[in-house]
Structure 1
């Protein structure tokens, strides 16, 4: 497999311009799009060339003052605005070692002190970013030292990875502390067990897939499985941040507004996840600020070393509506303090938009009372030099082209970088959000573990993105095979139910290949979804008719 991504649905598309006409018409509608990739030569992102992360002089990671990170965090602010105050980019120099033999665990890479055979890099960094022929699946090891002073041990450190592909294991001082599967969704590692002085953070990232993988289950030339609908990038390809936390840590805050009509008051449901970092049950005092108001909630109890979801509701009498190219947003912040504690946790800040989304009985979808007729783009986060490890220049160039084309909807095969979603929120551009479940064959749907995994990754997507005004639909999968078997139908119904339970305010969707007259087009299972994305290939490929 060469690093070329198929163009999808080209009947209305102009490939080199990344243009596609999109028409959304509910359950019987179609999203007609053009998939484009810098690998394919369909669009080559022409931005100032970012220096390769592999280049750079070696530095001493231990030269720092007590209480600081062993290599100073980047002066840049985190790319993602949403989150806790006090987050810092865990940038600077990391060290990297490729492990093609997959021998690092046996050889103790997580405990190595010497930097021999390790080379300095900066994250994000994909270890196969410039490889274009074999779709190299392998294992990469990343390490960075953190120095902690005696007084700093009172606060917990939490590291957040916005995305690492595909299987990640995080080690602290040689001990595994966190694991995660999935390259485009975030996870956190609690750095419990820090000691005074130097602590070594090591991350093993494997892009070695399996025949039951949800997106890259085809055999790869280089090493086992790893071929799929887009390049199997390996490595830490989104930002890493670190924060201090003590007492009550607010892990997530999201607002889900609903309108009965375009001129009605908005009923806003706010959901937050609190984590008690102490060894005792605490009473949390919570304050919410939004729409020019500050509201103190009734105290909530959180058990020792436990999490609790807090739900509250408020009303905005005359909301400013978010719409196409009208990115009206409300700021939202939350604070929580444990009773009897002098420490007030860092506030969590985010934003949300209010819009009226309704699907009519005839299949039309209305946004703020107006039928949607969309023109959009479909993209991959893929750069000839950086791979999926996009930075601000790559995101800015994509946004410039979206603006230049006048596009009002964006689609990808996986959840986009959260900083990109935030920019689309501000622009008033819609997002057809898709879980990375791609062409999974029917014999795999017979396996309960595969169905559970596919439902779980959809849930992760919704939990990350339900606060974004730009997200109009959650597409649970792309191009599942015909015929629709009972096991495949079971997945569709289970995923639809799970998505709606987490977020009843968006469309539930699935993307299918257009096959004129296909029996499966009328399968009753599609009643479980609100919208179909139809990928049209007619005339694009050899043998297509």
Structure 2
């Protein structure tokens, strides 16, 4: 026994020594980067190689005047007066005051070493979501700006400013004060209280990456399937644009995968600081299709290699781009959403990336919890007012669930949408959302907005027409929709003609609506029939419904669990009588913060929390959870 213990001890010491040796075998730069918290990992799979999660210690400091000195905030390496934080971070999480919602200015900073000191390498910093206006500084110098949230943006770190062997200081000024022209817009209520679509959390709301580029970078990647019918052979089209960050022209070969099959996209000489595009369409016989019943995913990753000179024994891999694709079709046929030629009658939930302790800076464990709750109820679709974190879409791909992807062009007043710059920024949101998420088979609809004026005129009509054309120019394989407030007085609107899908946000019997026109829930059925008559060729979806609930009480008392249960059973009972409906979504799955003073039609509210969800922000299930579970699991949602 003693000899066995000694042997085990020796093996343990040997293992530790080998691990230590492996760590010491790394370059000094790599060791320094690890010490700074840079990790060679990502929180999701899709994307280019060479990503380093900028974890570890960050620092935050409020800028009360909004006019803080760049020399102090972005150039001075002294962290005195700064608060240590981890990123993602919402600086006003747990603060539900008016001032918190109205927004302010804050700074984040992080010192880091490059993982490699090689001079030939270029570096990019990638922000997954910053709310809302950001200015990025490297070693005290401004290197880029961005406006918007919920979508990623990247900024190249200029070689002239980088310290290859020393500590670099990355600083980000974040301003989350909103304007009526933003997405979502700000405003004031009649009593002077700030308004907006959902709580205005400021900060670095999703993670930040440092990205290594060995001259060649994948700029855009799309892998789009074409499946004419559910039993047909398919085609897959690869499109990619690469960029040469180097100072010399480089011959590059691009290859891809379709499962075990190798696909050659071609070879091109890419000039210094120039771009090159590659397109390849291939046939796929007897494809394994992606569906809720069988969510098969093909590995369709791309690789860029150095193709010259020809005397080189082995080509060098410059970059890879990881992506998976499901072969499936999503079309509107005779006014119905069809997946692989079969009709959809999905049941789903809206969601927000919100929590009591972290605000919108949640992690993958909470995202996974939301997905598992939805599956437990029997839901097959998620919708949000903005593109969700990539983790959601990758998991929906894997699980055979669906996604309605929307841009936060929410309740923008016509007088602001009339401004050319506002429409341009809205179009930029659409284009970015499509390019970021188009390789996910779970995505079935691009939505260009939510609850714009229910009586659209030429301004909204112009925006809808341009936004639909833009989305389809990037991705011609999916329908485009819009979510609208459901009011009988809206009537038939010719401005909706370019849309394939119309989402109806209906709260008949909960809100009263203009002139009380939706106060009586018994008028819901006739209203839905009128919508169908207006738009017989469009797929119609219930994009929102629900009733607030936070207590036990009589079924006729608004705000009780019993009222909410009765509401759910009545509304989904009406939907079941409309076989032409393509789906219905309860708003939302889990409670979230809206705005100061939020009541939501509940006589006993708990502002600012939106309480229509079947699950509270503490993770507790309300009685309606069981009703929705019975309804959802009792509905044939596909086929």
For normalisation by structure 1, the TM-score amounts to 0.83
Provide the rounded CA distance (Å) in 2 between the counterparts of 1:460 and 1:188. Answer: 12
What corresponds to 1:100 in structure 2?
A: 64
What corresponds to 1:350 in structure 2?
A: 323
Match of residue 319, structure 1, among 278, 283, 287: 287
Maintained 8 Å contact 1:111/1:173: yes
Is residue 502 of structure 2 the alignment partner of residue 532 of structure 1? yes
What corresponds to 2:382 in structure 1?
A: 410
What corresponds to 2:225 in structure 1?
A: 257
Provide the rounded CA distance (Å) in 2 between the counterparts of 1:256 and 1:388. Answer: 31
Moved more, 499-508 or 187-196: 187-196
Is residue 77 of structure 2 the alignment partner of residue 113 of structure 1? yes
Is residue 496 of structure 2 the alignment partner of residue 523 of structure 1? no
Provide the rounded CA distance (Å) in 1 between the counterparts of 2:304 and 2:434. Answer: 24
SS of the aligned residue for 1:152 comes to: coil
1:198-277 correspondence runs (5 A): 198-219=167-188, 227-277=195-245
What corresponds to 1:159 in structure 2?
A: 125
Distance 1:486 1:103, change over 3 A: same
Provide the rounded CA distance (Å) in 1 between the counterparts of 2:270 and 2:36. Answer: 35
Provide the rounded CA distance (Å) in 2 between the counterparts of 1:220 and 1:107. Answer: 38
Provide the rounded CA distance (Å) in 1 between the counterparts of 2:472 and 2:416. Answer: 24
4+ aligned runs moved over 6 Å, structure 1:
none
Provide the rounded CA distance (Å) in 1 between the counterparts of 2:116 and 2:42. Answer: 27
Provide the rounded CA distance (Å) in 1 between the counterparts of 2:194 and 2:34. Answer: 35
CA displacement, residues 301-354 of structure 1 (integer Å, 9 cap, x when unaligned)? 323212333221122211111112432111112111244477521211110111
1:488-527 correspondence runs (5 A): 488-519=460-491, 522-527=492-497
Maintained 8 Å contact 1:233/1:387: yes
Match of residue 168, structure 1, among 134, 141, 159: 134
1:305-454 correspondence runs (5 A): 305-340=273-308, 343-361=316-334, 363-454=335-426
Shift of 1:74: 5.7
Unpaired runs of 5+ residues, structure 2, are: 1-26, 310-314, 520-639
Unpaired runs of 5+ residues, structure 1, are: 1-63
Maintained 8 Å contact 1:247/1:343: no
Is residue 256 of structure 2 the alignment partner of residue 288 of structure 1? yes
Match of residue 470, structure 1, among 414, 425, 442: 442
1:47-58 correspondence runs (5 A): none
Maintained 8 Å contact 1:129/1:233: yes
What corresponds to 1:124 in structure 2?
A: 88
SS of the aligned residue for 1:273 comes to: strand
Provide the rounded CA distance (Å) in 2 between the counterparts of 1:343 and 1:505. Answer: 34
Is residue 266 of structure 2 the alignment partner of residue 298 of structure 1? yes
What corresponds to 1:26 in structure 2?
A: none
SS of the aligned residue for 2:44 comes to: coil
CA displacement, residues 280-304 of structure 1 (integer Å, 9 cap, x when unaligned)? 2322111212221112332123232
Distance 1:349 1:149, change over 3 A: closer
Provide the rounded CA distance (Å) in 2 between the counterparts of 1:471 and 1:228. Answer: 27
Shift of 1:406: 0.9
Shift of 1:65: 4.2
What corresponds to 2:604 in structure 1?
A: none
Distance 1:424 1:226, change over 3 A: farther
Provide the rounded CA distance (Å) in 2 between the counterparts of 1:75 and 1:107. Answer: 29
Moved more, 160-169 or 211-220: 211-220
Which is greater in Rg? 2
Provide the rounded CA distance (Å) in 1 between the counterparts of 2:419 and 2:400. Answer: 40
SS of the aligned residue for 1:305 comes to: coil
Provide the rounded CA distance (Å) in 2 between the counterparts of 1:356 and 1:483. Answer: 33
Shift of 1:97: 0.7
SS of the aligned residue for 1:528 comes to: coil
What corresponds to 1:53 in structure 2?
A: none
Distance 1:143 1:390, change over 3 A: same
CA displacement, residues 88-142 of structure 1 (integer Å, 9 cap, x when unaligned)? 2110001111112102246641112211111111100011111113114011211
Maintained 8 Å contact 1:257/1:269: yes
What corresponds to 2:29 in structure 1?
A: 66
1:179-198 correspondence runs (5 A): 179-193=145-159, 194-195=162-163, 196-198=165-167
Provide the rounded CA distance (Å) in 1 between the counterparts of 2:447 and 2:284. Answer: 30
Provide the rounded CA distance (Å) in 1 between the counterparts of 2:179 and 2:382. Answer: 30
Distance 1:149 1:427, change over 3 A: closer
SS of the aligned residue for 1:419 comes to: helix
- Number of residue-to-residue matches in the alignment: 477
Moved more, 100-109 or 481-490: 100-109
Higher helix fraction: Structure 1 or Structure 2? 2
